[in-house]
Amino acid sequence: MQLSNLDALPGQEEQVQKALQETIEGPVEKDAFGNLYFGDLKTKKKKIALYAHMDEVGFFVHRITEDGFVYFYPIGGWWGHVILGQQVRVTCRKNGQILEGIVGTLPKSNHKMSEVVPINEMYIDFGVHSKTELEDAGLQIGDMILPNTQAKKSFNGKKIIGKALDDRVACTVMAQVKKHLDTKKIEVVGVGTVQEEAGTRGSKVAAVKADADINIVIDVANGKDTPKAAEYQNRIQGNGPGLVLADKTALGNIKLLDYCKEIAEKNNIKWQYDLLGGGGTDAGSVQLFAGKPTLVFCVPTRYCHSWNSIVEISDIEATIDLLVAVIQSLDKGGIDLEQF
């Protein structure tokens, strides 16, 4: 939950970078783009890379009016319906100060109630009277703006509610897998990528530096188990991670997928097939670097790219368990990596 509360707009991922560096033991490198590599990149062993992006969808300050209203620019996919009236926080990069405000709700006469208000017409009200007041507090064009939320558990203790679960869930999984593994023949490199939500940019750099024999991208996608979410319910919370056959940018390596499926069934770990027809992941960049076997593990998460998402704790645990079991099996020679 702590990772959910951190703010990391694409290109401004410092908070999450610091938290992961403090959490994951062992060697770590940071490239010029901001990607992190947890593990020995120079090893002569076979390498398995686990990718998790550190950034989140959000906004930055675009324009400040003389009377103190702030217009903003979205980074990543946003649906206007979830923005109006919400609380936000902006981090002033000049001095680190946090300013809280709300996205103003426009008068009914401005738009038909059936229409989505364009994001470029929305503004943030910080409760000030002038542009000077904001600038004196440290606000600048380009400062990151994110949902002003705090993560918490659901009343029954089974789920986590919070912002940025896309992709802090994966960061948590990657960190825990690194913690629980003790491999002999295989080097596992955890890769924290930047700017995924701005066009999977960081992974284009990271794939080259990691240069792994097998790539596993950990991400989330909207659960389809809520009312009227889909004609065919899939990506169901409580059924474990999805092994992704394809997304819009990559095809999952079917031999690797089948191997993960077999390991899951052998160890009684829940899993489900998945297909991300609406978007892409870091897998597209990673797979196209050297054509090495690549697969996406997808954790079902409701209401992605909004102020609050929901993930089931058991799905996170199953993802960790399955990745550990798969990697341990490969380390013990369960199958030759060259066969994928």
- Residues catalogued as catalytic: 196
- Tokens 């100060």, residue? 97
As a whole number of angstroms, the distance between CA 58 and CA 196 comes to 12
The answer to whether the beta carbons of residues 86 and 307 sit under 8 Å apart is yes
Which residue in 238, 259, 256 sits closest to 318, CA to CA?
238
- Which H or E run includes 145? strand 144-147
Which secondary structure element, helix H or strand E, spans residue 204, and what is its range?
helix 201-210
Q: Collapsing DSSP states into helix, strand and coil, what is residue 304? A: coil
Binding-site residue numbers are: 53, 166, 197, 219, 305
Q: What are phi and psi of 191, to 5 degrees?
A: -120, 115
Q: Which pair of structure tokens corresponds to residue 261?
A: 């499926």
Taking phi over 0 as left and psi of -120 to 50 as alpha, with beta for the rest, 138 belongs to left
Sequence-distant (≥ 6) Cβ neighbours of residue 199 within 8 angstroms? none
| Residue closest to 283 by CA, chosen among 271, 261, 298, 264 | 298
- Tell me the C-alpha distance between 310 and 65, whole Å: 36
Contact 312, 281 (CB under 8 A): no
| Residue numbering of the annotated binding site for Zn(2+) | 53, 166, 197, 219, 305
